[in-house]
Amino acid sequence: MMKLILTSEVDGLGGPGDIVDVKPGYGRNYLVPRGFAMPWSKGSEKQIVAIKRARDAREIRDLGHAREVRDQLEALTITVNAKAGETGKLFGSVTNADVVVAVRKAGGPLLDKRSIEVHGIKTIGKHKAVVRVHPQVQANVVLEVVSV
């Protein structure tokens, strides 16, 4: 067995900062190369503390807290800046990372980009996005895409 420290969420295995034992091939060929884990060592204990502290800052504590965050998100006016042509069509599209930055600028909480569902925003104007705050709670936010 191979001992690893997870650096991101892996289904069926654990979350960031967890120490797990996996088969050597799975760890060497899948988890480590893709950045999901790093080899465990005695010196990496400090990194575990930092990873867990970052996870706790982002994590929603319970269902009540998730509802508070949802209400906070839905009350925000979220403006996403993007480059657009004269017809209002964007050069590229709005990504999850763009939404995370826009939510922070609007005074919202720090979100994980994997919890955001944005589909095909390629024009300026108002669009909807879904943020999975908790497995049972989703926030429907309105994004105002403006040309820079």
Q: Which domains does the chain have, with CATH numbers?
A: 2-58 (3.40.5.10), 63-147 (3.10.430.100)
Residue range 1-18, pLDDT digits in tens: 999 988 888 888 988 888
| Whole-number pLDDT of residue 57 | 59
| Whole-number pLDDT of residue 109 | 83
Residue range 52-67, pLDDT digits in tens: 777 665 666 677 777 8
Average pLDDT, the chain: 86
| Whole-number pLDDT of residue 58 | 60
Buried b (16+ CB within 10 A) or exposed e, 32-57: beeebbbebeeeeeeebeebeeebee
d(Cα 10, Cα 27) in Å, to the nearest integer?
A: 12
Band (pLDDT 50/70/90 cuts) for residue 28 is very high
Bigger pLDDT: 43 vs 121: 121
> CA separation (Å) from 131 to 14, 44, 142?
22, 33, 11
Strand partners, 123: 89
| Whole-number pLDDT of residue 22 | 94
| Whole-number pLDDT of residue 127 | 93
Category of 88 on φ-ψ map: left (φ > 0), alpha (ψ -120 to 50) or beta? left
pLDDT value at 136 more than 90: no
Residue range 30-52, pLDDT digits in tens: 999 999 998 888 878 777 777 77
pLDDT above 90 covers a percentage of the chain that reads 31
